[in-house]
A = this chain, B = another copy of it.
Amino acid sequence: MASLRLALRSLGASRLYNRPFVRWCIPSSKVRAFSTKLSPPSKAVVYEQHGPPDQVTKVIDLPPVELGANDVCVKMLAAPINPSDINRIEGVYPVRPQVPAIGGYEGVGEVHALGSAVNSLSVGDWVIPSPPSFGTWQTYIVKEESIWHKINKNVPMEYAATVTVNPLTALLMLEDFVKLNSGESIVQNGATSIVGQCIIQLAKIQGIRSINIIRDRAGSEEAKEKLKRLGADEVYTESQLEVKNVKSLLGDLPEPLLGLNCVGGNAASLVLKFLRQGGTMVTYGGMSKKPITVSTSSFIFKDLSLRGFWLQKWMSSEKAKDCREMIDYILSLVQSGKLKYEMELVPFNDFSVALGRALGKLGSHPKQVIKF
């Protein structure tokens, strides 16, 4: 117990009791009488205060955790560093675990040990926390059986690790706001992002055509080609859309009923310009850090609706009951080669390198996924 107390003290244990991630490292006295299974010791990326992630995070050792009857110990295989993970550590995300906390929100692991009453999972199964939950950046996690969703092992682990935050967001935005029929179109900015790439591919599967807007930059022609290979119908840089009537560019593409915005500023205005009468723009990101500016007549006479999407809120809603079915659908698309996006697997030992890349400090890199 000495090492446990020590580890918890270093995490500020007196303030930690009863917080979600401590649930995994403090034995429950109720359960102790029925089970004496322990998890292996774990390594975790922890931050004790909010701030620049490369300054406030550190990898620490956590002691073994006793498994309750309904608990499952999962050996983590992979977990991504998403922008929202970074924002949580920075303290700028609206909902975040209280510090000290373990980083990460999604990931995939392999069942390592089972509490005595667990019957829906077996050792060796691949599982993801679903809905996702805080604290996936550690080597072993102990959580209740109901948290874990067993998935098909026939997908690369980096896809299993990243299936929720980006691809599910893409799927939900295509389905939750307007009814899109085959042959109709959507417009999006930030199309090279993983969500953007997923939107192109998921739309195509449904027969929905996509108009895509990307930043002007070196390599924009290559980016266009890449998105077209994924199924994009049209890809424009912002400067190409500095024309009097963007709709004149549409050719035989129908005017889009749905627009998706993860940029703000001018890139959001371009999405609005493409939308048809009665269209909806859904904002799910603000990469430019600029606001959205809309004329009053867009609302009154063009009847546009502007909405927002936040996966974490969706996950706390009634609708989230369908989330596992959607995850399975997305992974089936990955398995059949219909959904792909670039990632870079980085050994956990090189976490600080992966974090530096995710922070954009080391040039342009694909999504960083920690391999435990």
Contacts and interface: CB of A to CB of B under 8 A. Distances in A.
Contact of A294 (B294, B297, B298, B301): B294
B283 A299 contact: yes
A225 interface: no
Given A293-B291, A293-B292, A293-B293, A306 B299 contact: yes
Contacts of A284: 300
A305 B295 CA distance: 15
A307 interface: yes
Of the candidates A268, A291, A309, the one having the most CB atoms from chain B within 10 angstroms of its own CB is A291
A179 interface: no
Contacts of A291: 293-296
A307 B310 contact: no
A285 interface: yes
A94 interface: yes
Copies, count: 2
B303 A313 contact: yes
Contacts of A298: 308
A295 B294 CA distance: 11
B295 A286 contact: yes
A264 interface: yes
A304 interface: yes
B264 A94 contact: no
A300 B294 contact: no
Contact of A310 (B261, B286, B303): B303
A294 B303 CA distance: 17
Nearest to A286: B296
Interface in A268-300: 268, 282-286, 291-300
Looking at A296, A298, A306, which has the most chain B CB atoms within 10 Å of its CB? A296
Contacts of A264: 295-296
Contacts of A309: 299-300
A117 to B, nearest CB: 38
Contact of A300 (B283, B293, B303, B305): B283
Contact of A306 (B286, B294, B301, B310): B294
A292 B281 CA distance: 15
A321 B67 CA distance: 64
A158 to B, nearest CB: 26
A301 B310 contact: yes
Contacts of A305: 305-308
A294 B299 CA distance: 14
Contacts of A286: 295-297, 300
27 contacts: A94-B297, A261-B296, A264-B296, A282-B299, A283-B296, A283-B300, A286-B295, A286-B296, A286-B297, A291-B295, A292-B295, A292-B296, A293-B293, A294-B306, A298-B308, A299-B306, A299-B308, A299-B309, A300-B309, A301-B308, A301-B310, A303-B310, A303-B313, A304-B308, A305-B305, A305-B307, A306-B306
Given A264-B296, A300-B308, A301-B313, 13 more contacts: A261-B296, A283-B299, A283-B300, A291-B293, A291-B296, A292-B293, A292-B294, A292-B299, A294-B306, A303-B313, A304-B308, A305-B306, A305-B307
